[in-house]
Structure 1
Amino acid sequence: MAQGQSDPSCRRSPPPGGRSLRQRYSGDHLQRILLVRGLLKLLLVVAVLAGATAAGWQPATAWWAARNRPKFDTLAAEQGDVIEVINSTGTIEPVQSVQVGAFVSGPIVGLHADFNGEVKEGDLLAEIDPRTYRAVVARDKAALAARRAELERGAARLQQARREEDRSNALAERNVASISESDLDQAHFTRVGMEAEIVMAEAAIEQAEANLDTSEANLGYTKILAPVAGIIIDRKVELGQTLAAQFQTPELFVIAPDMRREMRIFASVDEADIGQIRLAQESGKSVQFSVDAYPGEVFEGKIAQIRLASTTTQNVVTYPVVLSTPNPELKLLPGMTAEISFQVDRRDGVIKVPNAALRFYPVRDHVREADRVILDGTALEADDQARGESPSASAKAEAEGERKRRHVWVVEADGLLRGIPVTSGIGDHRATEIVSGDVEPGQRLVVGVAPKDD
């Protein structure tokens, strides 16, 4: 084929009728046809995409709902024992603290007892310089001897006066003129005077004896003796220290008797709890406590006293409660702080739920429709309380019973919460007894909303 000539076979054959599309239709009509074809193609693409979206919409919606569905933390209900306690703190003290003082003054010349020493009644603890008091005893003994000598001399004079009076009376009976009336009177009253002197001498002897007893007692007080058997928990005197008892009785030692047999714990209990404490005392329930010195050991005691003398501090009324506990190993020392748990009630083999399950309050959207009225009722109660109206005593007592009627929540298959009405009983720091309600051991109860995963 010569250059510049085209192959007849490569030429486009004319459409049927011998004319092209452009030749058969005008320009505007051709544009409408092309536009319709484009729209049909677009609709076909949209239909394909819509079908694909419809096919995946339901799984996607289910995945999104599952992803945003709240997750809850749960704990299982159990069957076991519940012990209700009231906690308090107290101070450990001896049953009795005997303060040993000094009755007389003077320097300490002997010290025979020390801290923590065990003494018996009558043991010598300390000595005060006795020289001054010995001298006073010697003086009072001499004074007593002088008074007794005066009594003997007065007795002799009285005997002489009586004889003279007897002779004067006898002489007057034989011869009245031989003795005058004045001589008779003188003899008589001389005898009466001597009898009075005898009485005075006897009184002087008693006074001297009393002075001697006082001085001997003061001499005895220079020896400080243990008034009771016990342990010396404090010593407040040093050797050579001078005591001045005329101003204030100085305290030398403090002795605690029977520390091994019994110690006391003094606690303050709030007035709201004192009724339960009294019931625990009447039923003889034990009390457990611990001290920081022995953190792994639990001690036991009993309620000895509930004293009636209340104490008010910042409008809080408390009552002193005294506990009694043995102390054979002397582990409990005076002044220790005791963490006390009063056992006021006990239930064995009951269904109990975690305290967090009773405290849980769900969001309205997380609760199934049938149980949302529970939340509405709670809101109304809160609104009533917000008005600040003070209820009567009977209403308070009724409200106290209503407080025990609560709800616990379980997760349904659809992820929503269902409320279970229960009546609570006693509780401890972990769980609360369920008196009535459709709760079974092992049932998972909601205690909170779990955090979402990123």
Structure 2
Amino acid sequence: MQHPYRGGAVPLAAALVACGLTIACSKKEQVKGTPEVAVVTLQPERVAITSELPGRTSAFLVAEVHPQVNGIVQQRVFTEGADIKQGDLLYQIDPRPYQAAYDTAAAALARVEANLPAIRKRAERFKELLSVNAVGHQDFEDADAAAKQAEAEAQSLKAGVESARINLGYTRITAPISGRIGKSNVTPGALATAYQGPAFTTIQQLDQVYVDSPQSSAMLLALQRNLASNRLKGGTPDQAKVKLFLEDGTPYPQQGLLKFSDVTVDPTTGSQILRMVFPNPKHVLLPGMYVRAVVEEGVAEQAILAPQQGVTRDPKGNAVALVLDGSGKVEQRTLKVDRAVGSKWLVTEGLNAGDRLIVEGLQKVRPGVTPKVVPFESKPAAPAPAAK
């Protein structure tokens, strides 16, 4: 006896059920297959363009103190680390040999100057007698040559006296500039050798300090192009204002100015040195400190800022973004990105005001697809963990 459900009835019913399920699933998947994306409508913004550069501080003026005569150091007058003024006595070298040389030169000059009037008068008298043929030409020429020789000797001795006076003055080593003096490298009793050996001490002027920072030549060229195209306003490479942050991140209260950029590009690094000057009334900045300088290049009045999560890179490394065109379809744009401004990219080409930039759901869509647009909700930063 055959089972009542055997034969073609059961396969036909199963096929109809399977077909109905397939159609239902297909419709359900079609509904679920519409991707959702969140977009941001870009608007032009006024943005201050800055560049952060590492740098080192250096003294505004530096003077190394060296002896200019030989001798024994008799005393050191200053206190190490003190503020001194230009002309203050720092060291005293034994002046006695130079005083004796000065006295000798002065005495020799006095002897010649004492005889000089008589020699001049004799030459003048012979000149008068020559006019009446009372003396011969040879006698007059000898008297005139003797007078000129005495005058030349007097001039030579005057120079010798001046040289002796200068050397005597060099025994007093004084401060060439005002500033803060460092440690002393010699003590009383040491032998001073003129113009040789290490410096006795160093003086640095700290009321103002320099900050030297390397900057790529490409960055300077970009800045010059920005200014020439009027994309940036309110700043020039030689008059930009500069803010400073100390090594621990503390902002320095005084604002500085960009003084100049070096005229030579380092061939090994492709960079130039930017020199900035900062007032330092409280001597907070000391030579050799590491700092971070923020150079204000200018202001972009109509800047396009794109959220960083909406900008990716293609296999060639180019910045790309997905936007919705007028019909709501996805379109891919290739961008030119200048720099990061906070959590956004400053875009110079590829995006315009009014463009709808996709910032969420980028992995779900491709160019040509018409996605469903949902509101974009920026997530607040996670709160910092409580201190234990």
For residue 431 of structure 1, the aligned residue among 339, 344, 350 is 344
CA distance in 2, matches of 1:445, 1:263: 46
Match of 2:97 in 1: 132
The equivalent position to 1:446 in structure 2, one of 352, 355, 360, is 360
2:307 to 354, 359, 362: 354
Contact 1:108 1:241 in 2 (8 A): yes
Deviation at 1:272, TM superposition (A): 1.2
- Correspondence for 1:256 among 200, 204, 213: 204
Change (3 A) 1:93 1:100: same
d(CA) in 2 for partners of 1:326 and 1:141?
49
- 2:304 and 2:61 map into 1 onto residues whose CA distance is 46
Cα 1:345/1:291, change in 2 over 3 Å: same
Alignment match of 1:226 (pick from 150, 172, 175): 175
Looking at structure 2, the residues matched to 295 and 239 of structure 1 have their Cα atoms a distance apart, in angstroms, of 44
Distance apart, 1:425 and its partner CA: 6.8
Q: Distance in 2 between matches of 1:155 and 1:109?
A: 46
**Residues 83, 149 of structure 1: alpha-carbon distance in 2 compared, 3 angstrom cutoff:** closer
Contact 2:304 2:352 in 1 (8 A): no
1:98 corresponds to which of 63, 72, 86: 63
Q: 1:268 to 1:127 in 2, by over 3 A?
A: same
Alpha-carbon separation, structure 1, partners of 2:93 and 2:37: 76
CA distance in 2, matches of 1:109, 1:224: 11
The 5 Å alignment of 1:354-373 reads: 354-359=307-312
Larger radius of gyration: 1
Q: Distance in 2 between matches of 1:250 and 1:295?
A: 36
Q: Distance in 2 between matches of 1:296 and 1:52?
A: 74
Match of 1:295 in 2: 249
Give me the whole-angstrom Cα distance separating, in 2, the residues matched to 1:114 and 1:276.
50
Counterpart position of 2:53: 88
Q: How many Å apart are 1:137 and its aligned residue?
A: 1.8
Q: 1:423 to 1:193 in 2, by over 3 A?
A: closer
Q: How far apart, CA to CA, are the structure 2 residues paired with 1:100 and 1:359?
A: 59
Hey, what does 1:333 align to over in structure 2? 286
Q: Percent identity?
A: 19
Tell me the CA shift for residue 100 of structure 1.
3.0
Distance 2:14 2:80 in 1: 97
- The yes-or-no answer on 1:265 pairing with 2:211 is yes
- What letter matches 1:265 in structure 2? V
Query: Gaps (5+ residues) in structure 1?
Result: 1-33, 174-183, 362-378, 386-402, 411-416
* RMSD after superposition: 4.8
Shift of 1:94: 2.7
| SS of equivalent to 2:97 | helix
- Distance change >3 Å, CA 75–CA 227, structure 1 → 2: farther
Distance change in 2, residues 1:191/1:421 (3 Å): closer
- Do structure 1's residue 204 and structure 2's residue 153 form an aligned pair? yes
Structure 2: distance between partners of 1:44 and 1:360: 59
**Amino acid paired to 2:192:** L
2:368 corresponds to which residue? Answer: none
Q: Report the 3-state secondary structure (helix = DSSP H, G, I; strand = E; otherwise coil) of the residue aligned with 2:200.
A: strand
Which amino acid is 1:281 matched to? T
The offset of 1:101, in angstroms, is: 2.3
Residue 312 of structure 1: aligned partner: 267
Using a 3 Å threshold, how does the CA distance of structure 1 residues 309 and 347 change in structure 2: closer, same or farther?
A: closer
Kept in 2: contact 1:77–1:439 (CA 8 A): yes
- 1:391 maps to which residue? none
Q: Distance in 1 between matches of 2:308 and 2:93?
A: 66
- Name the CA shift for 1:154/1:319 in 2 (closer, same or farther; >3 Å): same
Report whether the alignment pairs 1:37 with 2:12. no
Q: If each structure's helix is expressed as a fraction of its own residues, which one has the higher value? A: 1
Contact 1:84 1:426 in 2 (8 A): no
Q: Distance in 2 between matches of 1:239 and 1:55?
A: 110
Q: Taking structure 1 as reference, are residues 345 and 138 closer, same or farther at Cα in structure 2, changes over 3 Å only?
A: closer
Contact kept in structure 2, 1:421 and 1:437, CA below 8 Å: no
**How many pairs align?**
343
CA distance in structure 2 between the aligned counterparts of 1:238 and 1:134, rounded to whole angstroms: 23
Counterpart check, 1:274 vs 2:241: no
Alpha-carbon deviation of 1:221?
0.4
> Is the 2:209–2:278 Cα contact (8 Å) retained in structure 1?
yes
Q: How far 1:276 sits from its partner (Å)? A: 3.5
Moved more, 302-311 or 235-244: 235-244
1:344-364: per-residue Cα shift (whole Å, max 9, x none)? 343468663223421255xxx
Return the alpha-carbon distance in structure 2 between the equivalents of residues 350 and 210 of structure 1. Answer: 71
Partners of 1:340 and 1:116 in 2: CA distance? 28
Q: Using the TM superposition, give the Cα deviation of residue 126 of structure 1 relative to its aligned residue in structure 2, in angstroms.
A: 1.6
Q: What TM-score do the two structures reach when normalised by structure 1?
A: 0.59
Give the 3 Å change call, closer, same or farther, for CA 54–162 of structure 1 in structure 2.
Answer: closer
Q: Report the 3-state secondary structure (helix = DSSP H, G, I; strand = E; otherwise coil) of the residue aligned with 1:281.
A: coil
The whole-number CA distance in structure 2 between the counterparts of 1:213 and 1:337 is: 48
Q: Supply the AA of the counterpart residue of 2:265.
A: S
CA distance in 2, matches of 1:238, 1:449: 75
- What per-residue deviation string (whole Å, max 9, x for no partner) do you get for residues 284-325 of structure 1? 442333231x41215642221123222200xx4322322222
Q: For 1:328, what is the secondary structure of its paired residue? A: coil
| Counterpart AA for 2:360 | V
Q: Which has the higher strand share?
A: 2
Aligned counterparts of 1:325 and 1:54: Cα–Cα separation in 2:
81
Per the normalisation by structure 2, the TM-score is 0.67
